[in-house]
Structure 1
Amino acid sequence: MSRLQVVSGKGGTGKTTVAAALSLALATGGKRTLLVEVEGRQGIAQLFGTQALPYEERKIAVAPGGGEVHALAIDPELALLDYLQMFYKLGSAGRALKKLGAIDFATTVAPGLRDVLLTGKACEAVRRKDKAGRFVYDHVVMDAPPTGRVTRFLNVNDEVAGLARVGPIHHQAQAVMGVLKSPQTQVHLVTLLEEMPVQETADGIAELRAADLPVGRVVVNMVRPVLLDGDGLELAGSVSHAEVARSLAAAGLGGARRGGAAERLVEPLLRQAEEYAERYTLERRQREVLAGVGLPLAELPLLTDGVDLAGLYGLAALLRNQGVS
């Protein structure tokens, strides 16, 4: 299993939830994971029920078996100060630049610079070792930008290395790409069984492969339970109004007389069966598309009551059962 796990997906597919569950799954059994947020939405804090994350690594959960999940919300301004101190030893001069607004100006007018800082900070956490020479974190999980932007986001250091051909910026960019384009990294894409997310996932996989970025697997999220299939679907499309009314009456749901409770339920039930059959057919087609991308698939169910901490642990267990750990 690669040490940097990047999670992306079309907006609304639940990529932050999947990233959080993955961090718990990877921490199971005594491991240490760092869950990194790069979009400034504080989605991780909301999922784990903690206060807004500062720009520091903080333990937010304990995984089964004693593992730990730490989290970090990367602030591009503070990351730039770290960068200036690391390579140019600016110290107080860098802090003075922040007071003057130069840091905010630089990260605002140059969005590519923001991406360099965000990816660089995550890769630094991947490479970091303690005094004994051991990695501080077994895994780093990044809640990355959406699918349509993730390839450019991850590949920005390649562009920087080409522009700055010498010096510390060039070497830092090369070091970051050395992590991102190596077996140390896997990019996972989250989707729903719907046409637009699946198409965006297929397009995203093609873009990542064209950029030589390592793609991991597709996580199909919010999967609805199968209620009818095969003969059941065929029956749902052919059963008559009268047969349904008689069956409802036989089950004790009102008499079969005209206008009775059983008859009033028939139309809504037949309409629901028709809608379910249409959705089932659509989802089956999308599964066929996903099967053609040539990547392992994992599935997570729709949590009808919403995602709470217990739900996250349940999703983490499901990911482990499917080999995502």
Structure 2
Amino acid sequence: MSRLQVVSGKGGTGKTTVAAALALALADEGKRTLLVEVEGRQGIAQLFGTEALPYEERKIATAPGGGEVYALAIDAEQALLDYLQMFYKLGSAGRALRKIGAIDFATTIAPGLRDVLLTGKACEAVRRKDKKGAFLYDHVVMDAPPTGRITRFLNVNDEMAGLAKIGPIHNQAQAVMRVLKSAETAVHLVTLLEEMPVQETADGIAELRAAGLPVGRVIVNMVRPEVLDAAELDLARTVPHTAVARALSSAGLGGARRGGQAERLVDPLLTQAAEYAERHALEQEQRAVLGELDLPVAELPLLPEDMDLTGLYELATELRKQGLS
């Protein structure tokens, strides 16, 4: 498994939930995972039921087998202070720049700089080692920006390396891109079995491949269970109205006579069956589109309740079963 797992997806597909479940799955059996947030939404804190995450790595969960999940909400201003201290030894001068608003001004007038800082901090966590020379984290999972801007977000250091031909900025940008374009990284795209998310996923994969960024898997989220098999679907499309009424009557739901309880239930049941058959056909079409992308596809079920820690552990178990651990 790649050590940096980037999770993106169209808004509304549940990419933050999938990223959190993936971090739990990767932390199985004693491993240590860092879950990174870069959009400032505090979605990770909400999922795990913790206070808002500060700009520090904090343990938020224990995975089966004793593994640990840490989380970090990367703040661009704090990351820039780290950067200034690391390469220019500014120390208190860097903090003074923040007080007068210079850092916020810099990240505002140069939006690409913010992405440079965010990706740089994540890659620093990937490369960081302890005193014994072992990697501090077995995996880093990034809850990344949506599919529409993921390629530009990850590729921004390539542009920065081209602008700064020499010096620490150039070297740092190149070091980040060596991680992002290597086998150490995998970019997963989360989608639903719906036309727009699937099309955006296909477009995102094409952009990532064109930029030379490593694509991992497509993760289909919130998959509804199949309640009818192919034969039952065919029957639902052709079964006579009267036959359904007789079956309901024989099941004890009132007489099949016209206007009876069984008779009144027929039309709603047949309508529901027709809607299910239509949705099933559309989902199969989208599965076929995903199959043409030449990537592994994982599917996660639609959970019946609002997402909580129990649900995250369920999804993590599903990801492990499907080889994402």
TM-score of the pair, normalised by structure 1: 0.99
How far is 1:157 from its partner? Answer: 0.0
Partner residue in 1 for 2:118: 118
Which AA in structure 1 matches 2:145?
P
Partner residue in 2 for 1:306: 306
Look up the SS of the partner of 1:103 in the other structure.
helix
Moved more, 300-309 or 60-69: 300-309
Partner residue in 1 for 2:147: 147
Which AA in structure 2 matches 1:109?
I
Deviations 1:283-323 (A, max 9, x none): 00100010100000111000121211011001101100111
Which AA in structure 1 matches 2:102?
A
Which AA in structure 1 matches 2:147?
T
How far is 1:229 from its partner? Answer: 2.8
How far is 1:261 from its partner? Answer: 1.7
- Partners of 1:293 and 1:242 in 2: how far apart? 45
Partner residue in 2 for 1:47: 47
- Partners of 1:226 and 1:172 in 2: how far apart? 49
Partner residue in 2 for 1:27: 27
How far is 1:10 from its partner? Answer: 0.5
The count of aligned residue pairs is 325
- Partners of 1:106 and 1:264 in 2: how far apart? 68
Deviations 1:1-35 (A, max 9, x none): 11000000010111101000000000000000000
Indicate the RMSD between aligned Cα atoms, in angstroms.
0.7
Indicate yes or no: 2:264 matched with 1:293: no
- Partners of 1:289 and 1:242 in 2: how far apart? 39
Partner residue in 2 for 1:188: 188
Partner residue in 1 for 2:273: 273
What are structure 1's unaligned runs of at least 5 residues? Answer: none
Indicate yes or no: 2:27 matched with 1:3: no
- Partners of 2:209 and 2:274 in 1: how far apart? 39
Partner residue in 2 for 1:163: 163
How far is 1:203 from its partner? Answer: 0.7
TM-score of the pair, normalised by structure 2: 0.99
Look up the SS of the partner of 1:65 in the other structure.
helix
Deviations 1:164-194 (A, max 9, x none): 0000000000000010000000000111000
What are structure 2's unaligned runs of at least 5 residues? Answer: none
Partner residue in 2 for 1:89: 89
Partner residue in 1 for 2:99: 99
Partner residue in 2 for 1:201: 201
Indicate yes or no: 2:315 matched with 1:315: yes
Indicate yes or no: 2:221 matched with 1:258: no
Which AA in structure 1 matches 2:241?
H
Which AA in structure 1 matches 2:293?
V
Look up the SS of the partner of 1:175 in the other structure.
helix
- Partners of 2:203 and 2:78 in 1: how far apart? 34
How far is 1:246 from its partner? Answer: 1.2
- Partners of 1:230 and 1:57 in 2: how far apart? 50
- Partners of 2:169 and 2:138 in 1: how far apart? 27
Deviations 1:29-53 (A, max 9, x none): 0000000000011110111111110
Partner residue in 2 for 1:230: 230
- Partners of 2:86 and 2:261 in 1: how far apart? 75
Partner residue in 2 for 1:68: 68
How far is 1:258 from its partner? Answer: 2.1
How far is 1:253 from its partner? Answer: 1.4
- Partners of 2:235 and 2:55 in 1: how far apart? 58
Which AA in structure 1 matches 2:50?
T
How far is 1:257 from its partner? Answer: 2.4
- Partners of 2:264 and 2:85 in 1: how far apart? 73
Which AA in structure 2 matches 1:219?
I
Look up the SS of the partner of 1:71 in the other structure.
strand
Deviations 1:119-178 (A, max 9, x none): 000000000001110100000000000011000000000000000000000000000001
- Partners of 2:104 and 2:76 in 1: how far apart? 9
Partner residue in 1 for 2:16: 16
- Partners of 2:100 and 2:264 in 1: how far apart? 71
Deviations 1:180-222 (A, max 9, x none): 0000000001110000111111111110000000001110110
How far is 1:109 from its partner? Answer: 2.0
- Partners of 1:46 and 1:203 in 2: how far apart? 30
